Structure 1
């Protein structure tokens, strides 16, 4: 036997997916593997190059994958690691450069071998599908919180459901080639499915017309059955992008037929093409985040945020879990804000006089802003001398004005209540912010409680994170010193009881612009938000301000009340999804709902959410003994 092939076999058999192949399959691959020796700093491929018909495995040493613009290391591949497979499946130019960061030996495996032995092995293929996202490793160097979070959750592309054409063009097998070509031309499509009793039996593409008709090999008057490719490859409606990519590579095709049960024996419901996958990729969250970093103007960022709206719609249609959608959109929003701050800093005449942090507050701070609504933000800067305070604050007010303007251009309207960092009230030093929060806590009148419900939900976005930690610590210290504050916050949390009247009817707005409409935010969502905030503050725990995260932590801390908190989580998820869908449908914030548009199922679903509101409010009234205050 080939001694080199045996040595390669002894190495690869220890690493998946090669360890999942039979000995005969793996030996067949090993006999055709090419071995590359790279000295340190040698390139295997560089950004922009056309992809080679192969992917790679590191035998010895280490290969770094570098981003061209910043020359930053985004992935390090060690012994047994695979790289270049995504590019091979993407069929596009290399997006990164592969460079030896130490003396290395690399094996290259052709796409033909991949198709013949790996995609046809169910265990190996399933491994690739399940690990396609998680096996991308990122080096956490001096990157921001946003960048780290993006790497964790945004590389979701291959696992999401593929967005395919729901109305595929089709014809019978007796249709003439000429008639089929005319249909394709009129419908402006590059393929047509041949069906029998609505079931797919074949396909014709532009390529078939070029190679079989334009060459004169077959008469255009013959039936489509003379040139159609068959049998077709079929998949069910929930096919993922990764499955589609692997299937197309495995069968060397560019189209997949989508049927009711994924077999050719049921009705054709869609068509997925290689072009569709490219479109999905161009409107993928991870792609948008990378594009954000390359933009040089607020208008470019506006275009990206509009594309994010399309992602939101697609994820809702695909029934992606709402908590995942919120993380995706929040990461995009944070990335946009980060870049706006960086662009604004470049426009300032000097560097910042001291360190600062940009904070998202309210729904933005809780990572619950899915739709484009108005801005809510604040700025905290490090303490400076009394003499320098005014000039320092003015610098950050000028910076904030640029940032707020940039966010407005992108699509986030200016806050009508002026809850923005460009307002001197909300652009303060760390000491002044501590005094402000202490004052609100010490004097919990209605106005101060309202401000607490907004500003307590702040989240670090950009700058010096240590300032945010100091601020959080001071808030808990102030609450400990004024325990009665929690009772007042509890009263505030009960101001909106379950939104049903004595006769079990929805409580609607009595007058004004939204008369007879249901306020899903104030009457259903905010009671759950307020309750979660109060209960987690009473525990003295500083965790992410997200409402669902708060209830999850409460369920962990109080298993005896776990059923209540789990019901609150379910209710909040349903309300958030419902409001988002309404907002997209009516092109507004989704806050006010016309009850006449609800069917019986919608009404029942909403009413079931109100039960959770009542249960958690009853718990609050008992725990904080609020009957003495009411």
Structure 2
């Protein structure tokens, strides 16, 4: 062995996964390693470049991994591995890799990864662990949803792979031409040979090309002549990362899924390399890219429908509901932004003034997981009196285009007309300030209801400074009218815990939803209203999401930590439960037939009502409301 290879061997053996390899395996790798010298600030690879068939180990110095905005994602020091996920993902690099000091890097080929590392059980297990430990999902308090989305593709690697639940099979005596006919009829690229429903072999399109089309075997032969056997099996819980590593390790494109992950268990599915590609193309990050390339509301409708499938998959795999909520909200916001861009091109001229589009209600709180109706508003900058009518007319027409395209996508028009194409909800900054001030200074029941909707607004498009001015005006009005929070507090107590004296669920008495339970009005909104009120009392402007509001309250009021943590748990459960019900019944999930629930679901719902009771008791004490009720 030459001196350079010896030095590489001596270095790598001190770091995982190389220390898990046999001496011969690591020696073979060391002989083929490329040594790369990088000066400070020199790039190794950049965003958009095709991924090369190598991953890297830092020998000396440090390599920084940066986003396009030059934010540092990770710093790789001596012994650290990077570029591996990109190698498995293929395509283009998503990050810049740049030396942040003079550095030496070892470059290791995909061939070595397949031949020595993934073939070693311990080293392969380490790679799986590294996928998990390298996932970084920050719970940021800013509104930069792209930050969240960039991590969504990382989650993809740890998700359970979405395999085909109906594998096409045949018995070992089947002739090759018969198997090929079945594959053609079923439009599949593989067929599993089974015995008593246990997989014993597999044939793929590639086998038909290399074994039959070349004349090596006759189409009249039995499938046993060309099948790959034994098959590689995994349990139903296989993750995307496990699947990719297994396919690399065994140089195959299909995995058999069985009940317990062994060959002696019943076949339940088939997972192909194509399935992995489709899964990667249907994560939130990929959908966002498609939205930005879209050319019509009809295309956006298809993408939003695929978001429902993404939502279903995330729920099935127990990804945290608050993370799912941020991703779906980001998709909804990006769809809205694209539609606004379309709508501006339909107008006969550019906007005559700066404006901002606001999502209100559940979308404003980043909690609109299902395709519910629209709630939105528009604010435009103050203009001269003589320009006002033409300016407002322009924005009303623009809003009408936007609202109609959102309807095409699947967001129904609001029955109460709380949309920006309504003159009431399309106003200048000064008009909006006056409107909020009127609601705050005259807090009758109607105005309090509007406050609970409009206080949860989120900037989606346009001039963010207009929204900041509006927020400052609102809090100034609240500061000048302390009694408003007391009225808002009393309003927040209008929906007590939804159980009767006999501990039965309170259901609708009449109408379309008679005898059904309104999970939104009776369970979720009391927690939403309480969080909003408590945050307003602390003069906090920038946090609208209900879960994030309670998390902030934990920081602000450690003495009430247990109550707020209970509210977080309850709201997550309610949000999950409503979303699952909506997906199951293809509706908003709001009204629930209690007869369809099992005892466990009923008990879980009742537990959330205790959180409503606790936080409402806190509000009664805080705002001295007991004597007013």
* TM-score, with length taken from structure 2: 0.85
State whether residues 373 and 414 of structure 2, in contact with CA within 8 Å, keep that contact through their aligned partners in structure 1: yes
Question: Of the candidates 112, 131, 155, which is equivalent to residue 129 of structure 1?
Answer: 131
- Aligned match of 1:297: 296
Deviation digits for residues 281-305 of structure 1 (CA, Å, limit 9, x no counterpart) = 2322111101111122222222211
1:507 partner SS: coil
Q: Is the alpha carbon distance of 1:432 and 1:211 closer, same or farther for their aligned partners in structure 2, counting shifts above 3 Å?
A: same
Query: What is the 5 A alignment of 1:355-374?
Result: 355-374=354-373
Deviation digits for residues 38-57 of structure 1 (CA, Å, limit 9, x no counterpart) = 999999899797x7644567
Is 1:207 the equivalent of 2:209?
no
- Aligned match of 2:309: 310
Across the aligned residues of Structure 1 and Structure 2, the Cα RMSD in angstroms comes to 3.9
13-22 vs 411-420, which moves further = 13-22
Separation in structure 1 between the aligned mates of residue 318 and residue 127 of structure 2, nearest angstrom: 25
- Aligned match of 1:29: 29
Is 1:273 the equivalent of 2:272?
yes
CA drift at 1:576: 1.6
Query: What is the 5 A alignment of 1:95-494?
Result: 109-119=108-118, 120=120, 121-122=123-124, 124-126=126-128, 128-130=130-132, 134=136, 145-153=144-152, 155-173=154-172, 177=176, 180-218=179-217, 223-494=222-493
CA drift at 1:573: 1.7
Count of residues in correspondence between the two structures: 618
Separation in structure 2 between the aligned mates of residue 152 and residue 305 of structure 1, nearest angstrom: 20
State whether residues 54 and 84 of structure 1, in contact with CA within 8 Å, keep that contact through their aligned partners in structure 2: yes
234-243 vs 7-16, which moves further = 7-16
Separation in structure 1 between the aligned mates of residue 11 and residue 524 of structure 2, nearest angstrom: 56
What are the ranges of 5 or more consecutive residues in structure 1 without an aligned counterpart? 137-142
Deviation digits for residues 147-181 of structure 1 (CA, Å, limit 9, x no counterpart) = 34432445432222210112323345455555544
Q: Is the alpha carbon distance of 1:148 and 1:570 closer, same or farther for their aligned partners in structure 2, counting shifts above 3 Å?
A: closer
Separation in structure 2 between the aligned mates of residue 9 and residue 373 of structure 1, nearest angstrom: 60
Q: Is the alpha carbon distance of 1:47 and 1:624 closer, same or farther for their aligned partners in structure 2, counting shifts above 3 Å?
A: closer
Separation in structure 2 between the aligned mates of residue 97 and residue 625 of structure 1, nearest angstrom: 54
State whether residues 76 and 82 of structure 2, in contact with CA within 8 Å, keep that contact through their aligned partners in structure 1: no
State whether residues 403 and 419 of structure 2, in contact with CA within 8 Å, keep that contact through their aligned partners in structure 1: yes
- Aligned match of 1:531: 530
CA drift at 1:501: 2.2
524-533 vs 233-242, which moves further = 233-242
Deviation digits for residues 104-141 of structure 1 (CA, Å, limit 9, x no counterpart) = 998754321121233332465135422665599xxxxx
Separation in structure 2 between the aligned mates of residue 135 and residue 627 of structure 1, nearest angstrom: 42
592-601 vs 52-61, which moves further = 52-61
1:536 partner SS: helix
What are the ranges of 5 or more consecutive residues in structure 2 without an aligned counterpart? none
State whether residues 194 and 201 of structure 2, in contact with CA within 8 Å, keep that contact through their aligned partners in structure 1: yes
Deviation digits for residues 417-440 of structure 1 (CA, Å, limit 9, x no counterpart) = 121222222222333322222221
* TM-score, with length taken from structure 1: 0.85
State whether residues 145 and 326 of structure 2, in contact with CA within 8 Å, keep that contact through their aligned partners in structure 1: no
CA drift at 1:326: 0.9
3-12 vs 611-620, which moves further = 3-12
Separation in structure 2 between the aligned mates of residue 574 and residue 96 of structure 1, nearest angstrom: 34
